[in-house]
Chain A
Amino acid sequence: MLKLNKSDTLLFIIVAAMVLLAPFILNPFPQGSSLAQMFNAGYPDLMQRFVIFGILVIGFNILFGLTGYLSFGHAAFLGIGSYSAVWMFKLLSMNVIPALILSMIVAGIFSLAIGYVSLRRSGIYFSILTLAFAQMSYNLAYSVLGNPSSNYNLTNGETGLQVYSNDPQYFASSGAPDTPHLFGMAMSDSSKLDIGSWQFTFNNGYYMSGILMLVAFYISIRIFRSPFGMMLRAVKSNQQRMNYTGLNTKPYTLAAFVISGMYAGLAGGLLSSMDPLAGAERMHWTASGEIVIMAILGGVGTLIGPIVGAGFNEYFKNILSKINDGILHQWLSFLPDGLENFIVGILHYFVGKGWHLTLGLLFMMVIIFLPGGLVEGGQRLAKLFKRKKTEDGSDSNNTPAE
């Protein structure tokens, strides 16, 4: 089906089903219960982030996973995409189609220019060049291009670029909503379904991003299985040998860089379409670092890894930042008082505002013990179960998908 082989088709169908049914899967607990407040992730804002960062990391994986070029400046394209989309909202109309197209084109142009220069070097130099370009974009967006009194105010600096009522919007039709929409369907609108005490939310923006993510995922599968993808893998394993055989690898790596830049631009455009406000902090190099973290957590060079990594990162960020001391006391109330206070005192540093610490530690653990990311962890578990000849492990390859 769809020119994919059997296992890829299966993988694609599983991912598609999960994306389409996510409002059910992510809301396993009834509305209003304490577990629901903590673990339910089926609300639009978070689900949108799952799929949008999924797109971003799928794109990053095409570059890093296939060619081995570690870009530390990918957030620049995310930011550029966000700004382009908001400019389209300001100039044309609140329809998301031109915004997404422009954000991909602009990010593509930028990645062509940056990639052309950066790819002349490899290894650590490439990482530092991309980092330098991203920091340049960030600094410019914050200072000169973001100064409201200067002539080149493209980004509106610290306030962030947003749509104002006196913007021209040359193609705005009168009946359309004044938030980003797809031919009249507002991205922020949701329909709700109540079954018993469960409530499921189906958000327009989520489904549009989700379908785009499926398209992005499909394209990435095709790239992985194509001769082009094979060429990129050859670059990763030994670029020098490729050069000795008389083959110029530059067009291939550059193409991979531009594709992944356009993915990032699309993700940026989608972020702006969900909430038409773009700020420079999206381009900061720690944001680039977070993209790398997501890719590594999931598993670099695998198909499903980026989606797993993005979902895992966003989900745990969300849960960990919600847990506070009160909840910890509630959970550990079965322990004797002194011990309870002691454990809560320690855990206090790892939850709530300290979630960065937990994710940082987890990231280090994954790099040290599990270089293939969570996907490799799943495969190892599966092998372990197979050796014991139980059938339980057969689906553990897919369990980390959320």
Chain B
Amino acid sequence: MDQILLQILNGLDKGSAYALIALGLTLIFGTLGVVNFAHGALFMIGAFCAVTLQRILNISTITEDPTKTDFLGNPATIKTPIVETWFGPEVGASIIDWSVPLAIFFAIPIMAAVGIIMERGLIKHFYKRPHADQILVTFGLAIVLQEVIKAIYGANPIPTPAPEAFRGSFDFGTYIGFEANAIIYPYWRMVYFAFSAIIIAAVFAFLQFTTFGMVVRAGMADRETVGLLGINIDKRFTIMFAIAACVAGLAGVMYAPINSPNYHMGMDFLVLSFVVVVVGGMGSLPGAVLAGFMLGILEAFASMNQVKAIFPGIDQIIIYLVAIIIILTRPRGLMGRRGVMEE
């Protein structure tokens, strides 16, 4: 029992990332009808927003300390981050410590800008072209974005630690009545899961309870009619693209402490998120979220040693296997709507 619970928890953090990326992909697909292969790159840019903020906060003034010398006899230098001189040493240190959560506020405007530029500058011109062209041009864009990041930040993963308070693990099992040390779970993964749950809830609430969301949903169902009613649906869809980019970016920001950002993390997640979208059903938001968590948890179960002993290598292929079975047996995915992407 505790084993099963542990695997479900293990699957949750990856599942959250899949769900968030797949949610953004589905938003873009449902509104604009574009298959966005550059969505993984948006996830990566988000993670690098966290890296950038961390670097900005660590910009320091260098002063010499005449009382101490280093081993060569030169006066020792002291680096004082500018934040610490501004806000005082204690507040400054904690600001640096909390750089990853703070990066959320840093990332939102950047991701929104990237999203709008991408949609207005490039993807707009591809609405009328075949899906293959959309896939290819966004695939090219993904390569370019990835290489730009590589040129700026280098090819090595950059460690981006979580705040001190959330490092380490806690004994989750004792809270729900298991014996001690049965279920040990890192704090930050819990935070990540809670964060993604909030984001997902916010997106759904936005679509469900605001007038803007209502118009967007109407546009998803019948774009032409909404346009004929005198509503500028294109503008709203552009904003939805920006929101989808923000969702992917925030998923990346918070993922940075779990997996040190490197330039190809986007590509790694992209393939899996596409599989997630297809399993959930093209164009279905709840389907994307459900499939994201489901596949994350399945992957965790498949990497248990007991399972691997029976089916060697199953942990590597389980997601693809499930996707193949789903596509062949339920062509619309788990919760796909009728008439979406059926050729």
Contact = CB atoms under 8 A, between A and B. Distances in A.
Q: Please list the 10 inter-chain residue pairs (A to B) with the smallest Cβ-Cβ separation, ordered nearest first.
A: A144-B313, A360-B143, A139-B316, A357-B147, A364-B140, A132-B320, A360-B144, A363-B140, A123-B343, A136-B320
Interface stretch (A77-85, A114-122, A246-254): A114-122
A123 B327 CA distance: 13
A291 B331 CA distance: 28
A357 B316 contact: no
B1 interface: no
Most A C-beta atoms less than 10 A away, residue of B125, B316, B321:
B316
Interface stretch (B57-65, B69-77, B128-136, B240-248): B128-136
A129 B35 contact: no
B275 interface: yes
A125 B327 contact: yes
Chain A contact surface mostly: helix
Contact of A144 (B132, B135, B151, B316): B316
A183 B343 CA distance: 51
Contacts of A289: 139, 143
Most B C-beta atoms less than 10 A away, residue of A117, A124, A127, A142:
A124
Interface string A116-153: 01001111110111011101100110111100001010
A123 B324 CA distance: 15
A128 B326 CA distance: 12
Interface of A: 68, 70, 117, 120-125, 127-129, 131-133, 135-136, 139-140, 142-145, 150, 152, 239, 285-286, 289, 292-293, 296, 349, 354, 356-357, 359-361, 363-364, 367-368, 371
A124 B320 contact: no
Given A123-B341, A143-B316, A128 B144 contact: no
Contact of A120 (B129, B150, B275, B328): B328
Interface of B: 35, 122, 125, 129, 131-133, 135-137, 139-141, 143-144, 147-148, 150-151, 267, 271, 274-275, 278, 282, 312-313, 316-317, 320-321, 323-324, 327-328, 331, 341, 343
Contacts of B122: 368
A152 B312 contact: yes
B44 to A, nearest CB: 14
Nearest to A360: B143
A371 B151 CA distance: 28
Nearest to B272: A135
Contact of B151 (A125, A285, A349, A359): A349
A132 B148 CA distance: 27
A132 B81 CA distance: 47
Nearest to A355: B147
Nearest to B125: A368
